Amino acid sequence: MTTAAAPSPASGPASGPGEPPTAFLDVRDLRIHFPTDDGLVKSVDGLSFQLEKGRTLGIVGESGSGKSVTSLGIMGLHTVGQYGRGKARISGEIWLDGKELMSADPDEVRRLRGREMAMIFQDPLSAMHPYFTIGHQIVEAYRVHHSDAGKKTARKRAVELLDRVGIPQPDRRVDDYPHQFSGGMRQRAMIAMALVNNPELLIADEPTTALDVTVQAQILDLIRDLQKEFGSAVIVITHDLGVVAELADDILVMYGGRCVERGPAEQLFSAPRHPYTWGLLGSMPRIDREQTERLIPVKGSPPSLINIPSGCAFNPRCPYADVPAGGITRTERPELRLVTGAAGGPGGGQHWSACHMAEEERTRIWTEEIAPKL
C-alpha cells in the first residue's frame, strides 16, 4: 500500500477528514509540496498530530526534515497556488480551537494570526523591522487586533510586556531600535511581541539557536514560565535534543517530511522505538556523563526531498533495514503504529512509531544493543 491521498485509519491517531477536531490543535495529513525546476519538493508529506492547551510539543529533526515548513504552514504563511514557482501546494486539515484553517477565508486566518496564534522566529534581527522602534512594532501588533485601543493603552501594554519578559527599564527601552538591543534582549522583545495579544497557540521556531548558552538558558526559562502563566499551547521546533528535553511534554521526531516517532518526552528519551531516534541519541555528545566510547553516528546524509527514498525514507541509512524480511523497507512505507509495550504517559500521551521491524525486535535492540552504549 503506497501513500493514498486520504489518510488511512492506520496513519496515526488522527480522526477522519471532516470530522470535528479531538484536540485544541489538530493537524491531519498535512502535505506541503513546492514545485521547483528540479522536481516536486515534498517538504511535508502526510503529517498528523494533536496538541492540547497548556502543553508543549517539541518537533525535532535535522535540516530539511520539514519542521519549519510545518510551522509556517500552520500559521498560513506559505504563498499558496497550484501553479508557478515558489508557490506551495498544501493539502490536509488544520483545526485550531474548533475552526478549520485550510478551508477558511484568508482574511479570517489573518485575524487569527497574531491574536490566537503567534510565532517566535530564530533570528530576531531579521524578524524585526530595523526602521521602527521596538515599542512601535509591539504597539502595531496590538492595535491591529484591538482597533478600539488607544495609543496610550497600547503603549502601556507594550511596556508591561517588555517588563514581563525581563527587559530592564522597559519604559525607556520601549523607544529603542532593534539594533540597540543585544541578541538575547531582542529575542525577549520578540517574545513580548508574540505574547501581546495573549495567543493560545505559540510556535517557537529554533528560538535559541542564535544565542549563547547562558542567554539560551535565560530564554528557555522565560518560555517555560510564560507558558505556565498564560496556559497556551506551545510548539517548539529545534534540532537540539537538549532544548526539547528542557521544554517539551511531548516530542515528535521528523524525518524526510514525515513523523517517524512521537510520544511523551520521557519515554522518547528512555525507550525510543525508531532507529532514527536511536541514531540521533547516539550522535550526540553528552555533557552529563563521562563518555569514553566513540559516538555512534547515522551513516550517510539526510535524503533529498525531491527523491525521498521509496518505502521507509530512512531505509538507506538504517542499520536494521534488512531485519524485516522480504525487502519491505524499500517497497512499503511504514505507518505510525502504537507502541504497545509502553504505558500512556502523564496527560494521556501515547507513544507512536513508524517502523517495519516487529516491536519486540526493536525493544530487544534498544535494551541490548543501543542503550548500553549511550
Contact residues toward other proteins (CB under 8 A) are 62-63, 182-185, 212-218, 220-221, 239-243, 245-246, 248, 265-266, 269-270, 279-288, 290-291, 294-299, 301-302
By C-beta, is 62 or 171 nearer to other proteins?
62
State how far Cα 94 lies from the chain centre.
Answer: 14
CB of 118 to other proteins, least distance (A): 23
Pick between residue 183 and residue 309 the one whose CB is nearest to other proteins: 183
Decide whether 149 or 296 has the Cβ nearer to other proteins. 296
Rounded Cα distance, 165 and 122, in Å: 17
Cell 543501543 identifies what position?
Answer: 370
Residue type, 275: P
**CB 269, min distance to other proteins, A:** 6
Alpha carbon distance 196, 187 (integer Å):
14
Query: Of 9, 7, 2, 4, which Cα lies nearest the Cα of 338?
Result: 9
Contact 260, 274 (CB under 8 A): yes
At closest approach, how far in Å is the CB of 309 from other proteins? 16
- Residue 119 forms beta bridges with which residues? 203
Tally the residues of the chain.
374
* Minimum distance, C-beta of residue 61 to other proteins, in the bound complex (Å): 9
SS3 at position 289: coil
For residues 103 and 292, which CB has a smaller minimum distance to other proteins in the complex? 292
CB of 373 to other proteins, least distance (A): 13
The three cell numbers of residue 173 are 527601552
Query: Given the complex with other proteins, which of 3 and 209 has the nearer CB atom?
Result: 209
